[in-house]
Amino acid sequence: MSGKRIVSVSINGNPTEFLCEPRQTLLEVLRNTLNMTGTKEGCSNGNCGACTVVVDGRPVVSCLVLAVEVEGAEIHTIEGVTCGVEMDEVQSAFLEGAALQCGICTPGFIVQAEALLAQNPAPTEDDIRFYLAGNLCRCTGYDKIVRAVQAAAKKRQSVS
């Protein structure tokens, strides 16, 4: 195994440097090196979406990204969705709409939904289901998750 590298990134707006081995994934570094455990691990091969983060504006599964690849990138994680102690519309909609049960997939869904709403502020039900299809939830049957994203979109539009 070759030596460790220093990687410089911005995470949730904060300039951050970390040391990693070339074989370490972004997920492993976020969770184990930076202690940001809000990003969850469900499968480690890109199938479940629990580890979704946004890198340079695009949602990615962080288990399939090597940490050395994100040099210079702007990364947003679930920890950055909350502004201070204020939750945003998506988080509130998940809470109010009971869109979570066990909660392990919830950070991934929220980050993915934020990415959807950034691109498409007024998605249809089909748009939402298509965009969230890479995030697996085994508890809710998705009904309340889709409704929560609809509610968040509506609330955000009425504010803006």
Partner 1 sequence: MATIDKPKYKVIGTRPIRHDGVDKVTGRAQYGADIKLSGMIYGALLRSPHAHARIKNVDTSRALAVTGVRAIVTSADLPEQGDRVVELGEGAVNMRHLTANVLAREKVLYKGHAIAAVAADNIHIAQEAVKLIDVEFELLTPLLDVQEAMRVDAPILNDEIRTESFGSAPAAQDSQPTNVAKHFIFEKGDLAAGLAEADLIVEREFDTATVHQGYIEPHNATVHWNADGKITVWMSTQGSFSARHQTAELLKVPISSVKVVPMEIGGGFGGKISVYLPPVAALLSKKSGHPVQLVMSRTDVFEATGPTPGSHMRMKLGVTKDGRLTAGAAWIAFEAGAYTGSPVGAACMCVFSCYDLPHGRVEGFDVCVNKPRSNAYRAPGSTHVAFAIETLVDEICEKLEIDPAEFRLKNAATEGTRRVDGPVFSRIGMKETVEAIKNSEHYRSSLEGKCRGRGIASGFWFNAGLRSSVSATVNPDGTVSLVEGSTDIGGSRASIAMQLAETLGITAEEVIPSVVDTDSVGYTDVTGGSRVTFSTGIAAIKAAEDIQSQLLQRAALLWEMDVSCVRYEDGAVVGPDGQSLSFKELAAKLNATGGAVIGRGTSTGEVNQAGAYGTHCVDVEVDPELGKVQILRYTAAQDVGTAIHPSYVEGQIQGGVVQGIGWALNEEYWYDGEGEMRNATYLDYRIPTCYDVPMIDTIIVEVPDPQHPYGVRGAGEVPICPPPAAIANAIHDAIGVRMEQLPMSPPRLLEEILKK
Nearest of 138, 135, 115, 118 to residue 59 by alpha carbon: 115
Cβ atoms of 39 and 27 closer than 8 Å: yes
Q: The tokens 């590298």 sit on which residue?
A: 5
Residue 104 engages partner 1 in binding (rule: CB under 8 A): yes
Residue 37 engages partner 1 in binding (rule: CB under 8 A): yes
Smaller CB distance to partner 1: residue 5 or 46?
A: 46
Among 22, 56, 143, 157, binds partner 1 (CB under 8 A): 143
Q: The tokens 């972004």 sit on which residue?
A: 26
Q: Least CB distance from residue 81 to partner 1, whole Å?
A: 7
Among 11, 68, 100, 153, binds partner 1 (CB under 8 A): 100
Q: Least CB distance from residue 154 to partner 1, whole Å?
A: 16
Q: What is the CA radius of gyration of the chain?
A: 16
Smaller CB distance to partner 1: residue 26 or 31?
A: 31
Distance CA 91, CA 78 (A): 10
Residue 67 engages partner 1 in binding (rule: CB under 8 A): no
Q: Least CB distance from residue 155 to partner 1, whole Å?
A: 15
Total residues contacting partner 1 by CB under 8 A comes to 61
Smaller CB distance to partner 1: residue 72 or 137?
A: 137
Q: Which residues bind partner 1 (CB under 8 A)?
A: 1, 21, 23, 31-32, 35-48, 50, 77-79, 81-82, 87, 91, 94-98, 100-107, 110, 125, 128-130, 132-147
